[in-house]
């Protein structure tokens, strides 16, 4: 079935460090891929998305490239800030019914 | 544009009691979803509505959970009776239609069952 496997956390980085959070997926069709972010006490917010192979999603300095050959959608940021501390969820959506499958989330803490 | 609204934000009940959560989606969004997010896990879909009809409720524990969206706008999720393992955050999300492939989430209701 369709699923997402996400790098386990928690991850702790110093400010301005490079961030990578790994995400791989299994899908029977051609999914769209997403990264959602959840700040403490808030709901999930869409961070970025990619709808087809080789697409790159980007937002707020974060990037992720849809790699069909490795079934991956790794999240990267060149220089993290304290305000990036949150839980990050990788997700996929299959066209039929638009059901979302989420990874387990990766908690990121950025220290000054 | 107003986001997805949910209430209450927090609820504490004892096991075997009943509880209800309310969600008002973004105006014009035909599709509404309820998710359960257990601590340390990703959200899991409970039920999906298209207008006032159920599209998918395959993962809804129907012996104790029920949901309705009678007028195709706001929705209520009920648990009766609650169990300890129902402690979780219940997230509501909406999308314009099933093929829009972007969902907008509310802040969630954190339920604690004692």
> In this structure, what token pair is assigned to residue A109?
């803490």
The stretch A72-98 carries a mean pLDDT of 90
Residue A96, pLDDT score = 57
Closest Cβ opposite residue A104 in set B4, B41, B106: B41
DSSP assignment letter at A84: G
Residue B23, chain A, CB below 8 Å: the answer is no
- Taking contacts as CB-CB distances below 8 angstroms, the residues of chain B near A32 are 101
- Taking contacts as CB-CB distances below 8 angstroms, the residues of chain A near B104 are 46
Residue A1 has pLDDT above 90, yes or no: no
Residue B96, pLDDT score = 87
Residue A72, pLDDT score = 96
- Average pLDDT in chain A: 92
CA distance A37 to A45: 5
Most B-contacting residue of A31, A100, A104 (CB-CB within 10 A), to test interface: A100
Residues of chain B with pLDDT under 70: 1, 98, 100
Residue B91, pLDDT score = 96
Q: What is the 3-state secondary structure (H, E, C) of chain B?
A: CCCCEEECCEEEECCCCCEEEEEECCCCCCEEEEEEECCCCCCEEEEEEECCEEEECCCCCCCCEEEECCCCCCEEEEECCCCHHHCEEEEEEEECCCCCCCCEECCCEEEEEC
Residue B90, pLDDT score = 97
Residue B41, pLDDT score = 86
- Cα angle: A96, vertex B96, A90; to 5 degrees: 60
Residue A59, chain B, CB below 8 Å: the answer is no
Q: What confidence tier does A97 reach under pLDDT thresholds 50, 70, 90?
A: low
Asked whether the beta carbons of residue A43 and residue B45 sit closer than 8 angstroms, the reply is no
The stretch A42-55 carries a mean pLDDT of 91
Residue A69 has pLDDT above 90, yes or no: yes
How far apart, in Å, are the Cα atoms of A34 and each of A72, B9, B24, B102?
11, 26, 24, 9
pLDDT, one tens digit per residue, over B17-43 is 999 999 999 999 999 999 999 988 889
Residue A94 has pLDDT above 90, yes or no: no
């Amino acid at each position: 079935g369709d699923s997402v496997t996400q790098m386990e956390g928690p991850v702790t980085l110093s400010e301005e460090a490079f961030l990578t959070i790994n995400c791989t997926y299994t899908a029977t069709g051609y999914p769209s891929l997403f990264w959602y972010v959840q700040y403490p006490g808030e709901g999930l917010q869409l961070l970025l998305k990619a709808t087809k192979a080789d697409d790159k999603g980007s937002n707020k300095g974060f990037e992720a490239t849809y790699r069909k050959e490795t079934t991956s959608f790794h999240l990267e940021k060149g220089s993290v800030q304290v305000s990036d501390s949150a839980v990050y969820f990788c997700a996929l959506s299959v066209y039929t019914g638009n059901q979302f499958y989420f990874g387990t989330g990766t908690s990121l803490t950025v220290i000054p | 544009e107003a986001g997805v609204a949910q209430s209450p934000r927090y609820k504490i009940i004892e096991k075997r009691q009943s509880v209800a959560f309310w969600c008002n989606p973004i105006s014009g969004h035909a599709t509404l979803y309820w998710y359960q997010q257990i601590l340390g896990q990703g959200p899991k879909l409970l039920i999906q509505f298209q207008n006032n009809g159920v599209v998918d409720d395959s993962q809804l524990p129907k012996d104790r959970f029920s949901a309705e969206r009678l007028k195709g706008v706001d929705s209520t999720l009920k648990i009766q009776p609650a169990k300890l393992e129902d402690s979780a955050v219940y997230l509501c999300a909406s999308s314009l239609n099933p093929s829009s492939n972007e969902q907008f989430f509310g802040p969630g209701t954190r339920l604690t069952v004692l």
